[in-house]
Amino acid sequence: MTDLIDLGKYGPEFTENPHPVYAELRALGPVHRVRLPPPGEHVETWLVVGHEEARAALADSRLAKDSRKLGLSFLDEELIGTHLLIADPPQHTRLRSLVTREFTGRRVAALAPRVQRIADDLLDAMLPLGRADLVDSFAYPLPLTVICELLGVPESDRSRFRALSTEVVAPSGLDTEHEAFTRFADYLTELIEDKRCSPPSDDLLGSLIRTTAEDGDRLSMGELRGMAFLLLVAGHETTVNLITSAVRALLTHPDQLAALRADTSLLDGAVEETLRWEGPVENTTFRYAAEPLEIGGTAIPAGEPVLIGLASADRDAGRHAEPDRFDIRRDARGHMAFGHGIHYCLGAPLARLEARIALRTLLERCPDLALDGPPSGWLPGMLIRGVRHLPVRW
């Protein structure tokens, strides 16, 4: 019988810095039975912490994303609707095909001038102050504005959307999480109906409403709501924390910051190393063993939930030498910050674009940027890795 490891015993230190615990687990083996820390302390799951095992698990079709196959049901499925993160082939194949018809590389590349303008406008407002919370002043509003404009969310709704989104990805409790999902579902239904009744728009949500495959297939209301939810939440919460973590990493590694300032061609390397060293998604959402299987020599019974540790896998010394060292010259290819396999993040090109523009613009316009205190408000749970506040000065 595999020993159960209670991650809650590590206390708040685990939320602030889980990497020593993951290293401890990797030293014991690539797969463990764990109890989640608060607010998920009543949940037991298998946790994959080794790089090779995580990569294989991400591509293993025996690990299902659709919990309904096993008779399970969760808030996002009940209230929001079906989306890519909770679908398996052939449904996943169909949904991804319909979305990628509109969420194209060309559409993302065309956003670059607008992303640059948003970054400049935010810094125009921030720089005269001399100090600020980087999250509130820059890292949060930039991707929030981009994704809301991309999907066609009215500006007047964005503060409401931010509050709902934060509670969904880092819930403070089951009651508030349920309320957030309920209100989010109601809001998205209203937004989609408004767009259906309005003249056609060229935003992504309007395009998804109208898109039709060659065989006449279209997204249903539940699927539209689910896809809008996924694109809105995953499309900005992750990028907020990618930008924040990149700045925090550079400011706490002055040699790396100096290297980047001296050679801006290292910018892509800085983004990729941040994704590896402190990526915004700590662990995947749940998968479920559709049949008995073995991962890294550990037997997983049918029906059991499985989490795949992206943050742990990306600090596995078997894949990356000196994995705890932040090095923007490192060849970080092979990191799994965006996943692997059929569920590889659809928004990866947009996240990279925003992070590159945000970092370059911030460093160019703030040559003496420095921390103005410790980061605070580490996000609860084991899904999103990041902080609510990063005080900086210049």
- What pLDDT score does 215 carry? 73
- What pLDDT score does 213 carry? 67
More confident residue, 42 or 5: 5
- The answer to whether the CB of 334 falls within 8 A of the CB of 56 is no
Instruction: Write the pLDDT tens digit of every residue in 42-66.
Output: 899 999 999 999 999 999 999 999 8
Instruction: Write the pLDDT tens digit of every residue in 16-27.
Output: 999 999 999 999
Task: Select from 76, 72, 82 the least CA-distant residue to 178.
Answer: 76
pLDDT band for position 73 (50/70/90)?
low
Crossing angle of helices 158-169 and 141-151, in 10° steps, is 110
Which residue type does 247 have? V
Tokens 């808030």 belong to 75
**DSSP state letters, 50-67:** SHHHHHHHHT-TTEES-G
Q: What is the mean pLDDT of the chain?
A: 91
What distance in Å separates the CA atoms of residue 20 and residue 14, rounded to the nearest whole number? 8
Q: What residues contact 278, with CB distance under 8 A and at least 6 apart?
A: 245, 248, 249, 311, 385
pLDDT band for position 160 (50/70/90)?
confident
Query: HEC states along 148-213?
Result: HHHHCCCHHHHHHHHHHHHHHHCCCCHHHHHHHHHHHHHHHHHHHHHHHHCCCCCCHHHHHHHCCC
The percent of residues above 90 in pLDDT, for the chain, comes to 65
What distance in Å separates the CA atoms of residue 186 and residue 183, rounded to the nearest whole number? 5
What distance in Å separates the CA atoms of residue 298 and residue 28, rounded to the nearest whole number? 12
Name all domains of the chain by residue range, CATH numbers in brackets. 4-393 (1.10.630.10)
Residue 75 above 60 pLDDT?
no
Does the predicted TM-score (pTM) go above 0.85?
A: yes
Find the mean pLDDT for residues 287-295: 96
Residue 174 above 80 pLDDT?
no
Q: Kindly state the helix (H) or strand (E) to which residue 289 belongs, with its residue range.
A: strand 287-289
pLDDT band for position 142 (50/70/90)?
very high
Find the mean pLDDT for residues 136-152: 93
User: How many whole angstroms from its chain centre is CA 144?
Assistant: 13
Residue 173 above 70 pLDDT?
no
What distance in Å separates the CA atoms of residue 229 and residue 78, rounded to the nearest whole number? 13
More confident residue, 169 or 243: 243
